[in-house]
Amino acid sequence: MIKIIAVGKIKEKFVKAQIAEYEKRLRPFTKLEIIEVNDEIAPQANSEAQNALVKEKEGERLLAKIKDQEYVILLDLWGEMINSETLADKIEKLQTYQSSNITFVIAGSLGPGKKVIDRANWRWKLSDLTFTHQMTRVLVLEQLYRAYMILHHNPYHK
C-alpha cells in the first residue's frame, strides 16, 4: 500500500484532475490513500520562532497519520535525488523485504519540522527546482506510476 500524507488542501481543479488520473492509473498496481492535513497560517513576517511553531503543529498532524510499521519517505529539499529506475527498484525492495506500507510525506510551505525529519526512514529530493506543494503531489504520483510501469516492464517510462 502507498499512502501520501500532505499538508494543505488541493483547491485547483486542474491539479485535482491530474491527481485523480494518476490515482486511476495506479489502482491496478497498488492500494493508494491520500490524506490531507490542515496547514497553519505562516505570514512572510513570521519570526523564526513562529515558523518553528508552525512546522511543529503541522508535523504533529502529519505524524498522527503515520503508523509504526510504515516506511516513511519524506519529500525534502535536503534529501537524496535519484532517477526513476532507482525509485522503482527501491519501491520493489521495500515492499518485498521491508514493509508493504510505504508512506510519502509532503510537509508544508516552511518544510518539515525536526520530529518529521526524525521519523523519516529516507528523505527524497525530487529536483533542484522549486515546486508548489500541490504540484509536488502530482509529481510524486506520476513518479509512482512510472515506477510501477518500470517494474511491470511497460514502455511508459521511456
Q: Which residues are annotated as a binding site?
A: 75, 107, 126-131
CA distance 122 to 96: 17
3-state class (DSSP) for residue 112: coil
Q: What is the CA radius of gyration of the chain?
A: 16
Q: Give one DSSP letter per residue of 21-42, joined into a string.
A: HHHHHHTTT--EEEEEEPPPP-
Q: Which residues are annotated as a binding site for S-adenosyl-L-methionine?
A: 75, 107, 126-131
